[in-house]
Amino acid sequence: MSIAADRRAARRVARQAEAQGDRTLISDYDRRRPGVRFGMRVTHVFLFVTLVIAGLGPILWLMKAAVTPTQDTLQQPFALWPSGIDWANLSTAWNDIGISQYFWNTIVIAAGAWFFQLFIATTAGYGLSVLRPRYAPILDGLVLATLFIPGIVLLVPLYLTIVHPPLVGHSLLNNYLAVWLPMAANAFNILLVKRFFDALPREVFEAARTDGAGPVRLFWSIVLPMSKPILGVVSVFAIIAAWKDYLWPMLVLPDPAVQPLSVRLPAVQSQTELDVFLAALAIATLIPIAMFLAFQSVFLRSAGLGGAVKG
């Protein structure tokens, strides 16, 4: 980009900022001063270098190492393929270590966790916010109370519940329900969805009811379509949490055939050659990164929400 075009762009941005009246720490007047301008340039360079090294660096290195023979990675970790690219690492990891199977398991776990979390959060949010029977405040309180109990206190009793579930009669170990259902008991999701439903205009519900819509139709055709933003946020939370989870699936899925990547990767490390193992790590990061690039705005909005600024 030429300097003139650069400057034009900067001026346009500055004008926009002035027009919107939103400014930050440094005023537009200051931004025109040579000293501050130099400082901003230094800031840009610093941010770019730091963020590329810290944010992108490890991923790029992993992608490089995934197709590099073990000896090269060990002896010259930063050299770019001194003895050629070894594409076979990827196929070895995918086929011989069974990454394909664990990859599939991870997707099934994430999909189920997504479905159950969304199902529970939306039906409960609808029941507590829109239908709101007399006993709703009690449920509100009981759900809210679980927010204060850190997950760790549940570890042992929850594990025993899975081993001896009520009414089922046989252990749920190695059954994906053991991962999906405890994840669905998520008070944070319900709170998010309920607050969103609370903010929806009641007049629309009244109009729909007058037109003869029953509770199910109101839920499916009115409330859910109006709630796409929050459903996106909860979906991202649900899928990420399922993809990341380690301790719980390790406990309740002892059979390697049903374990997800997060559990299998540490387990296979000792019997796997380094280059193949790094290729496996690279494959395991691909889907989350692809999802992030595809749904960046939803991710970043969810991240902002995660910090408690949930109105």
Cα distances from 308 to residues 121, 186, 192, in angstroms, run 18, 15, 10
278 touching other proteins, by CB under 8 A: yes
User: Shortest gap between Cβ of 233 and other proteins (angstroms)?
Assistant: 12
Quick note: the x/- pattern for other proteins over 292-311, rule CB under 8 A, is: x---x--xx--xx-xxxxxx
- Alpha-carbon torsion 26, 32, 37, 43, what sign? positive
Residues 6+ apart with CB under 8 A from 101: 257
Quick note: the x/- pattern for other proteins over 62-81, rule CB under 8 A, is: x-----------xxxxx---
Out of 107, 224, 281, 298, name the contact with other proteins by CB under 8 A: 281
54 touching other proteins, by CB under 8 A: yes
List the one residue out of 126, 143, 146 whose CA is nearest residue 205.
126
Q: Which is nearer to other proteins, 23 or 174 (CB)?
A: 23
Q: Which of residues 188-227 bind other proteins (CB under 8 A)?
A: 190, 195-196, 198-199, 202, 205-206, 209-210, 214-216, 219
The single-letter code of the amino acid at 298 is V
Written as six digits, the tokens of 244 are 């990341």
User: Shortest gap between Cβ of 4 and other proteins (angstroms)?
Assistant: 16
| Under 8 Å between Cβ of 182 and 248 | yes
11 touching other proteins, by CB under 8 A: no
User: Shortest gap between Cβ of 95 and other proteins (angstroms)?
Assistant: 20
Written as six digits, the tokens of 163 are 């081993």
Spatial distance between the Cα atoms of 276 and 288, rounded to a whole number of angstroms: 20
Find the part of the chain contacting other proteins (CB under 8 A) among 85-93, 96-104, 130-138. 130-138
Out of 107, 108, 111, 136, name the contact with other proteins by CB under 8 A: 136
Out of 88, 131, 204, 207, name the contact with other proteins by CB under 8 A: 131
Find the part of the chain contacting other proteins (CB under 8 A) among 87-95, 96-104, 286-294. 286-294
- Alpha-carbon torsion 69, 70, 75, 78, what sign? positive
Out of 7, 59, 88, 104, name the contact with other proteins by CB under 8 A: 59
Spatial distance between the Cα atoms of 128 and 103, rounded to a whole number of angstroms: 37
Out of 90, 99, 118, 181, name the contact with other proteins by CB under 8 A: 181
**Greatest extent of the chain over all pairs of C-alpha atoms, in Å:** 76
The C-alpha angle 217, 182, 237, rounded to 5 degrees, equals: 70
Query: Total binding residues for other proteins by CB under 8 A?
Result: 121
Burial 19-28 (b: 16+ CB within 10 A, else e): eeeeeeeeee
List the one residue out of 158, 187, 178 whose CA is nearest residue 254.
178
Find the part of the chain contacting other proteins (CB under 8 A) among 86-94, 97-105, 282-290. 282-290
Q: Which is nearer to other proteins, 43 or 95 (CB)?
A: 43
111 touching other proteins, by CB under 8 A: no
Q: Which is nearer to other proteins, 67 or 251 (CB)?
A: 251
163 touching other proteins, by CB under 8 A: yes
